[in-house]
């Protein structure tokens, strides 16, 4: 390890190499030895491989590994004969299979090596130059790397601004620096998952070439074996030899059952008998395994009803599906970006219409959607509504209103104007209706938003108060800022739950129910963004708030007016989705419900009386609007706060020197 900077002086700390002691200034020996004491419990038999990790301010990070015989490494830091084999990785490669190269992205690169061969089995750049949401994707992947794997975390180009909660997880895994990285720090950490640190180096300020010549500990513990008659287990461990971040599939200590045992049936199992479950998928096999594992183990799941429809279908995905014995097929895909996705979903709808023409309904999931144990129970109790009520077009497992702090009653269901979301059911008649008008000329739209705008025709969806699905992945159309509330949404964890008042969701009954709720509600006035808007404690069971909501010439609600009312109470506000005919339902506690009623747009405007103040955002002054917006941002905790922005090399030296 070289301590001097290459381009200009830079502060660097390497917890492995004592030759960098002068950089630590105070009590450097204790700081350098600490990492080995912390991980001394790692006792597997090891071979030793020499390797080189390099960081470049222009290219990002790379890892070179010289693979050598153990005897040749004794007493030497590098192999010196001609029998070594060199493998080189760069962050422009998405994985070890043949892929087109793409430019590096700002953030942190996670690389996983096979602990027995040092072969590269996973790499992904998490763009943590963005503050929002990507930290959760890094955490998800770290959780799913099996114990014993060798991990390399490096800053690619720049970007630790968005590390956020993931820093705590990395510290728990053994990193000394993760909690102290500045927004533009350069950092490399090589460690064994569940074991010891091999090398950890950081540059807090300035630019320099960042190299760590290190010894990789490779395990002599053999790969799990299976009796000769257990071909499936042999295939599992062969697959896991080549792939990482697969969760319980590749955990050698507590592997997932393969095949998973059949889940218990449900009280309303017959409602699911002829309903296909279509999972749309592609190259993200790590996501796909987690989705299928939660799906196939949920009570009420029927393996024979599950069909995975692949667009892009690389070998790891098809191998996985054969391994876990899930039916799959492929559809042609072409184009780029969202146009490609738009055409892909049209092909999926066409396939469903051909393959299941007589099905009562079809359930759709994307490859990065986790379902709750109550998912099929929820569907079995609500699917009949698609047949009985022509004013409904979908059943959503994802909640339109159940964000953090707004979801309490797991048995409550609502209806409202909302697009099909992550984990939904529609009828085959709706599939055919969509296909009748699905053409490329509308490719500027996301397919689900296009269905909402052009095919829905004022129909509504049923959705739960507590979500039965969770969208955990980051994809082509993911906007990190907007993904934040989705990450924090609660997911129903118990099953089964008997839903309350499902028959009331039919339109005539629901209108009667909402009308009575509003009549009985306590009227609230004032600014919905203020602290004193809600009484504390909440003495009444239900409240109503009347606000100005006009109808546009196209017949839609005024999005400006809706946005400013909805955002103040923690609802989705970038579109008017989630309301029922101009009434939005907000849950503030297990026993308190607020109804936002937009006048004159709402079907229920006749319940508004003129002697009640009507809040009108259009009458607020610019200063009042600014104050309201600032307050809302603070309430939503959406201001960037970077704890380590003032971290210095000197302070970190003192911090590490204090470790005893």
Once rounded to an integer, what is the mean pLDDT over residues 277-288? 96
Sign of torsion over alpha carbons 299, 303, 306, 310 = positive
Cβ atoms 487, 133 nearer than 8 A:
yes
Residue 522 in 3-state DSSP? strand
At 580-606, the pLDDT tens digits run 999 999 998 888 899 999 999 999 999
Say what the pLDDT of residue 655 is. 67
pLDDT band with cut points at 50, 70 and 90 for residue 23:
very low
Higher pLDDT, 23 or 616: 616
Other C-beta atoms closer than 10 Å to the C-beta of 475 total 14
Q: Which of 307, 441, 289, 283 is nearest to 362 (CA)?
A: 307
Please list the residues that pair with 311 across neighbouring strands.
none
DSSP codes of every residue in 296-360: HHSTT--GGGEEEEESS--HHHHHHHHHTT-EEEE----SSHHHHHHHHHHHHHHHHHHH-TT-S
Confidence of residue 649 (pLDDT cuts 50, 70, 90): low
User: What span, in angstroms and rounded, lies between the C-alpha atoms of 278 and 289?
Assistant: 15
- Distance from the first to the final alpha carbon of the chain: 24
Token reading at 132? 């929002």
Quick one: tokens of 295? 């799906």
Cβ density class 645-655: b for 16+ within 10 Å, e for less: eebebeebbee
- What gap in Å lies between CA 475 and CA 621, rounded to an integer? 40
Q: What is the mean pLDDT of residues 292-314?
A: 95
What pLDDT score was predicted for residue 206?
A: 67
- Max intra-chain CA distance, the chain: 92
Say which DSSP state 451 is in: I
pLDDT at residue 317 greater than cutoff 60: yes
- DSSP states of 106-164 as a string? SEEEEEEE-TTT--EEEEEEE-TTSSSSHHHHHHHHHHTSPTT-EEEEEEESS--TT-T
pLDDT for res 93: 27
pLDDT of residue 4: 29
Residue 512 has pLDDT above 90, yes or no: yes
Peptide bond into 496 cis (omega under 30): yes
d(CA 128, CA 112): 18
Give the pLDDT confidence score for residue 526 in this predicted structure: 86
Could you tell me the two tokens for 99?
A: 């892929």
**pLDDT over threshold 90, residue 27:** no
For residue 69, the model assigns a pLDDT of 32
Q: Which of 156-160, 195-199, 347-351, 378-382 has the lowest mean pLDDT?
A: 156-160
What is the band of 20 on the pLDDT scale with cuts at 50, 70, 90? very low
Query: Can you give the pLDDT at residue 181?
Result: 87
- Top pLDDT among 49 and 146 is at 146
The string of pLDDT tens digits covering residues 6-16 is 333 333 444 43
Q: Which of 66-70, 337-341, 421-425 has the lowest mean pLDDT?
A: 66-70
pLDDT grade for 338, boundaries at 50, 70 and 90:
confident
Instruction: Give me the mean pLDDT over the 315-323 stretch.
Output: 96
Which range among 97-111, 268-282, 316-330, 337-351 shows the weakest confidence by mean pLDDT?
97-111
pLDDT tens-digit series, residues 558-574 = 888 888 888 888 887 77
Structure tokens at 518: 């509003």
What structural domains and CATH numbers belong to the chain? 12-223 (no CATH), 270-504 (3.90.550.10), 514-619 (no CATH)
What values do phi and psi take at 23, rounded to 5? Answer: -75, -20
Per-residue pLDDT tens digits for 173-227: 999 999 988 877 888 999 999 989 999 988 877 666 666 677 787 888 888 877 7
pTM for the full predicted model: 0.82
| Whether pLDDT at 444 is above 90 | no
Tokens representing 436 are: 């009748």
Tell me which of 461 and 638 has the higher pLDDT: 461
Supply the pLDDT for residue 613: 86
pLDDT tens digits, one per residue of 453-508:
889 998 999 999 999 999 999 877 777 888 888 888 899 999 899 999 999 999 99
Evaluate if residue 94 carries a pLDDT over 50.
Answer: no
Least confident piece of the model among 400-404, 423-427, 621-625: 621-625
Q: How many CA atoms lie within 13 Å of 248's alpha carbon, on the beta-carbon side?
A: 13
DSSP 57: T
Contact indicator for 568, 615 with CB cutoff of 8 Å: no
State the pLDDT confidence band at 76, using cuts at 50, 70 and 90.
Answer: very low
Lowest-confidence region among 289-298, 512-521, 628-637: 628-637
**Rounded to an integer, what distance in angstroms lies between the CA atom of residue 630 and that of residue 61?**
39
Using an 8 Å Cβ cutoff, are 410 and 497 in contact? yes
Instruction: Look at residue 362 and give its three-state secondary structure.
Output: strand
Specify the higher pLDDT residue, 533 or 106.
533
Residue 269 has pLDDT above 70, yes or no: yes
Confidence of residue 2 (pLDDT cuts 50, 70, 90): very low
Comparison of pLDDT for 217 and 165, the residue scoring more: 165
Q: CB under 8 Å to 113, separation ≥6 — which residues?
A: 65, 119, 120, 121, 149, 150, 151, 152, 216
Position 49 scores a pLDDT of: 34
**Per-residue model confidence (pLDDT) at position 621:** 74
What is the reported pLDDT for 645?
57
Q: Which helix (H) or strand (E) holds 33?
A: helix 28-38
For residue 637, the model assigns a pLDDT of: 43
pLDDT of residue 214: 77
Q: What is the residue-averaged pLDDT of the chain?
A: 79
- What pLDDT, on a 0 to 100 scale, did the predictor assign at position 569? 85
Residue with more model confidence, 415 or 131: 415
Torsion of CA 190, 192, 197, 200, to 10 degrees: 10
């Amino acid at each position: 390890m070289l301590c001097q900077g290459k381009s200009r002086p830079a502060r660097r700390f390497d917890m492995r190499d004592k030759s960098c002691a002068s950089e630590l200034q105070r009590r450097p020996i204790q700081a350098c030895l600490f990492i080995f004491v912390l991980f001394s419990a790692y006792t597997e038999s090891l071979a030793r491989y020499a390797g080189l990790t390099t960081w470049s301010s222009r290219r990002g990070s790379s890892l070179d590994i010289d693979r050598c015989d153990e005897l040749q490494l004794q007493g030497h830091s590098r192999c010196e004969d001609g029998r070594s084999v060199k493998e080189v990785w760069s962050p422009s490669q998405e994985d070890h299979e043949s892929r087109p190269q793409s430019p590096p992205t700002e953030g942190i690169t996670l690389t996983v090596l096979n602990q027995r061969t040092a072969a590269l089995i996973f790499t992904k750049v998490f763009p943590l130059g963005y503050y929002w949401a990507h930290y959760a994707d890094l955490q998800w992947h770290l959780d799913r790397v099996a114990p014993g794997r060798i991990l390399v975390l490096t800053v690619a180009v720049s970007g630790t601004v968005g590390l956020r909660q993931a820093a705590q997880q990395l510290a728990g895994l053994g990193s000394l620096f993760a909690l102290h990285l500045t927004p533009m720090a350069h950092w490399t950490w090589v460690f064994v998952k569940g074991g010891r640190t091999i090398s950890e180096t950081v540059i807090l300020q300035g630019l320099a070439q960042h190299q760590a010549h290190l010894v990789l500990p490779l395990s002599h513990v053999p790969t799990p074996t299976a009796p000769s008659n257990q071909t499936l287990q042999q295939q599992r461990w062969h697959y896991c030899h080549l792939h990482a971040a697969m969760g319980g599939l590749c955990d050698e200590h507590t592997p997932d059952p393969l095949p998973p045992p059949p889940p218990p049936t449900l009280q309303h199992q017959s409602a699911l008998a002829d309903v296909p479950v279509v999972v749309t998928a592609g190259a993200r096999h790590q996501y796909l395994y987690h989705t299928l594992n939660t799906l196939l183990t949920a009570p009420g799941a029927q393996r024979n009803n599950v069909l995975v429809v692949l667009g892009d279908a690389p070998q790891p995905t098809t191998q996985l599906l054969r391994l876990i014995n899930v039916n799959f097929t492929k559809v042609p895909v072409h184009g780029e970006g969202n146009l490609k996705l738009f055409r892909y979903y049209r092909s999926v709808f066409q396939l469903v219409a051909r393959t299941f023409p007589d099905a009562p309904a079809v359930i759709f999931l994307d490859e990065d959607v986790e379902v709750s144990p109550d998912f099929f129970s929820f569907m079995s109790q609500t699917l009949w509504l698609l047949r009985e009520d022509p004013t409904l077009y979908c059943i959503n497992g994802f909640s339109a209103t159940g964000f953090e702090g707004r979801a309490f009653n797991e048995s409550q269901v609502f209806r409202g104007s909302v697009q099909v979301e992550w984990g939904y059911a529609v009828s085959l008649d709706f599939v055919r209706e969509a296909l009748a008008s699905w053409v490329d000329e509308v490719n500027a739209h996301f397919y689900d938003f296009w269905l909402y705008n052009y095919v829905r025709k004022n129909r509504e969806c049923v959705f739960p108060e507590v979500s039965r699905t969770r969208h955990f992945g980051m994809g082509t159309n993911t906007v990190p800022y907007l993904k934040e509330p989705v990450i924090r949404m609660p997911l129903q964890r118990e099953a089964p739950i008997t839903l309350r008042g499902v028959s009331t969701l039919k339109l005539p009954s629901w209108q009667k129910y909402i009308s009575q709720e509003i009549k009985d509600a306590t009227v609230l006035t004032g600014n919905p963004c203020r602290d004193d808007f809600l009484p504390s404690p909440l003495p009444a069971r239900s409240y109503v708030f009347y606000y100005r909501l006009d109808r546009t010439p196209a017949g839609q609600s005024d999005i400006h007016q809706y946005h400013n009312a909805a955002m103040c109470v923690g609802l989705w506000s970038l579109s008017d989705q989630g309301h029922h005919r101009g009434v939005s339902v907000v849950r503030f506690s297990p026993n308190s419900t607020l109804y936002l009623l937009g006048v004159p747009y709402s079907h229920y405007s006749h319940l508004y009386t003129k002697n009640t103040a009507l809040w009108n955002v259009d009458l607020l002054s610019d200063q009042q609007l600014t104050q309201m917006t600032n307050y809302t941002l603070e309430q939503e905790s959406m201001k960037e706060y970077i704890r380590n922005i003032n971290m210095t090399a000197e302070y970190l030296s003192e911090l590490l020197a204090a470790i005893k």
